């Protein structure tokens, strides 16, 4: 409840309690009554007020969340259907603020395997003991919950056995799956997660196909700073433009995170504890913490670490603070 809301409730209760207060002069002025006191004096009225207020706020929370879920999926489908149309769309804010849907998206058709896939994505019976659904870690939008796991248990970021939840946005465009690139197809990747991580029953071919169809609908939100080929738009910020030059130039990032997908099929040992795939950098601004084990909380620190890795490998120079800011601006805009 807001402070103003609380104050009016207290005030209202106080007014109702006036006769009682008038009789008992030893009580502190009613306007300063604490919530606890108010509850003691008029429990039924407070309960009524709480009851009257509650459904409203629960409803608000639900509606605040739901359209966002659908909007992302719809934006993704729209974008896939017509990249040209997507490019014409008005500027859309980065992933974290994608919520404001102007038009309600059309519901998925029942016959659409992706619709079946969405239902399965939220189905806890895929896990042993109904402990989790895909959406527990990827939300129904397919994005990451920003947590690091061993199995279904959240562990500290940076735990060497931990694996940070990747976003599933754009997953259909990736060539290998899992941080170590252990799965060659989406089917293998999802089957492995159900059987090994969720300890659920062996999924049928149909269930796997439906889940694959659903996650393939989850594309990246439209980007207002960077074009599909990875180059900055004309109206991108100056920092993003300078950052791009460093990305393809002295930073050496483009040798591994190759444009336009920003990933690479091969696996590399960059000194983080083994060989890992070169992950895409699309939407990376909202996928913290970074690296397979979530060892780095800030994107700037992740970018810094990567430049150091490259400089050591190539015996080349390190960035200035201003260059790090620019490169982080570009990477954060992807």
Instruction: Give the residues lining the site for ligand HEC (CB under 6 A).
Output: 126, 132, 134, 136-138, 149, 152, 163, 165-166, 168, 171, 174, 177-179, 186, 189-190, 193-194, 197-198, 211, 215, 251-253, 255-257, 268, 270, 272, 276, 278-279, 281, 284, 287, 290-292, 302-303, 306-307, 310, 327, 331
Q: Cβ neighbours of residue 94 under 8 Å, at least 6 residues apart?
A: 221, 283, 285, 286, 332, 333
Closer residue to ligand HEC (CB): 14 or 162? 162
Smallest gap, in angstroms, from Cβ of residue 102 to ligand HEC?
29
Smallest gap, in angstroms, from Cβ of residue 315 to ligand HEC?
13
Asked if 246 and 327 touch (Cβ cutoff 8 Å), the reply is yes
Q: Cβ neighbours of residue 121 under 8 Å, at least 6 residues apart?
A: 133, 134, 135, 138, 140, 142, 211, 214, 215
Closer residue to ligand HEC (CB): 13 or 194? 194
Closer residue to ligand HEC (CB): 57 or 161? 161
Closer residue to ligand HEC (CB): 77 or 257? 257
Smallest gap, in angstroms, from Cβ of residue 292 to ligand HEC?
3
Q: Would you say the C-alpha torsion 170, 330, 255, 274 has a positive or negative sign?
A: negative
> Distance between alpha carbon 186 and the CA centroid of its chain, in Å?
20
Cα(141)–Cα(132) distance, integer angstroms = 16
For 161, counting Cβ atoms within 10 Å of its Cβ (0-12 exposed, 13-18 middle, 19+ buried), the class is exposed
Cα(93)–Cα(183) distance, integer angstroms = 32
For residue 289, is the peptide bond before it cis, meaning its omega torsion is within 30 degrees of 0?
Answer: yes
Closer residue to ligand HEC (CB): 17 or 186? 186
Closer residue to ligand HEC (CB): 41 or 264? 264
For residue 260, is the peptide bond before it cis, meaning its omega torsion is within 30 degrees of 0?
Answer: yes
Q: Cβ neighbours of residue 286 under 8 Å, at least 6 residues apart?
A: 94, 95, 96, 143, 144, 167
Smallest gap, in angstroms, from Cβ of residue 259 to ligand HEC?
12
Closer residue to ligand HEC (CB): 217 or 287? 287
Q: Which of 301, 286, 289 is nearest to 333 (CA)?
A: 286
Closer residue to ligand HEC (CB): 14 or 117? 117
Closer residue to ligand HEC (CB): 74 or 189? 189
Cα(334)–Cα(281) distance, integer angstroms = 7
Asked if 225 and 333 touch (Cβ cutoff 8 Å), the reply is yes
Smallest gap, in angstroms, from Cβ of residue 262 to ligand HEC?
9
């Amino acid at each position: 409840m807001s402070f103003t809301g609380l104050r009016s409730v207290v005030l209202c209760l106080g007014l109702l309690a006036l006769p009682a207060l008038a009789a008992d002069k030893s009580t502190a002025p009613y306007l300063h009554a604490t919530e606890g006191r108010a509850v003691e004096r008029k429990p039924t009225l407070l309960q009524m007020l709480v009851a009257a207020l509650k459904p409203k706020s629960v409803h608000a929370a639900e509606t605040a969340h739901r359209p966002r879920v659908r909007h992302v999926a719809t934006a993704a489908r729209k974008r896939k259907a017509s990249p040209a149309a997507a490019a014409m769309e008005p500027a859309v804010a980065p992933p974290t603020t994608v919520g404001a849907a102007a038009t309600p998206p059309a519901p998925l058709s029942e016959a659409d395997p992706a619709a079946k896939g969405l239902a399965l994505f939220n189905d806890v019976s895929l896990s042993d003991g109904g402990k989790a659904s895909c959406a527990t870690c990827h939300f129904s939008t397919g994005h990451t919950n920003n947590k690091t796991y061993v199995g279904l248990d959240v562990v500290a970021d940076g735990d060497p056995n931990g694996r940070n939840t990747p976003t599933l946005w754009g997953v259909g465009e990736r060539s290998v799956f899992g941080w170590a690139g252990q799965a060659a197809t989406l089917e293998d990747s999802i089957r492995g997660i159900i059987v090994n991580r969720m300890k659920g029953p062996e999924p049928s071919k149909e269930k796997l196909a439906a889940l694959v169809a659903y996650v393939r609908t989850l594309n990246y939100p439209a980007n207002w700073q960077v074009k599909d080929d990875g180059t900055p738009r004309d109206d991108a910020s100056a920092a993003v433009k300078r950052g791009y030059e460093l990305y393809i130039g002295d930073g050496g990032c483009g040798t591994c995170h190759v444009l336009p997908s920003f990933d690479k099929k091969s696996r590399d040992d960059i000194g983080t504890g083994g060989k890992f795939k070169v992950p895409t950098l699309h939407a990376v601004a909202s996928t913290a913490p970074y690296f397979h084990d979530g060892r780095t909380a800030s994107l700037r620190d992740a970018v810094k670490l990567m430049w150091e890795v490259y400089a050591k490998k190539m015996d080349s120079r390190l960035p200035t603070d201003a260059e790090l800011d620019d490169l982080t601006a570009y990477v954060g805009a992807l």
